[in-house]
Amino acid sequence: MDWLLSLLPPVTEALRAIAQEQTNMVFSDEGLRFLAAGFAMALGAIGPAIAIGNMAGRAMEALGRNPEAQPAIQTSLILSLAFAEAIGIYALVTAVMIGFVF
């Protein structure tokens, strides 16, 4: 993640230079903020989506192999799904803060 954050300032300056050379339009900081917010939300949603799909698939596989363990599997699955959803909500809050606060 640190390498991604270290790439943002040079990329921002390059985009500004390209936009000013191509047209007379000014690349505003507000537009970059909203672009960064969308990028943060996209990256923050990919991880929980993959995790939820993986957990649900593994839980169904475990239930197919051992139906008697359903209470333990279901409890663990619900707790893990809540943690994965919380990461997605943190990404949403971060994106909103980038877009409207900073």
Is the pLDDT at 75 greater than 60? The verdict is: yes
The pLDDT of residue 13 is 78
The pLDDT of residue 101 is 83
Is the pLDDT at 21 greater than 70? The verdict is: no
Task: Identify the sign of the CA torsion 89, 90, 95, 96.
Answer: positive
For residues 35 and 98, the answer to whether their CB atoms sit within 8 Å is: no
Helix, strand, coil in percent for the chain, rounding step 5: 90, 0, 10
Alpha carbon 90 to chain centroid distance?
Answer: 9
Ordered DSSP codes for 45-71: HHHHHHHHHHHHHHHHHHHHH-GGGHH
Task: Give pLDDT tens digits for 34-69.
Answer: 888 888 899 889 989 999 999 999 999 999 999 999
Domains defined along the chain, listed by start: 28-101 (1.20.20.10)
In percent, the amount of the chain with pLDDT more than 70 equals 84
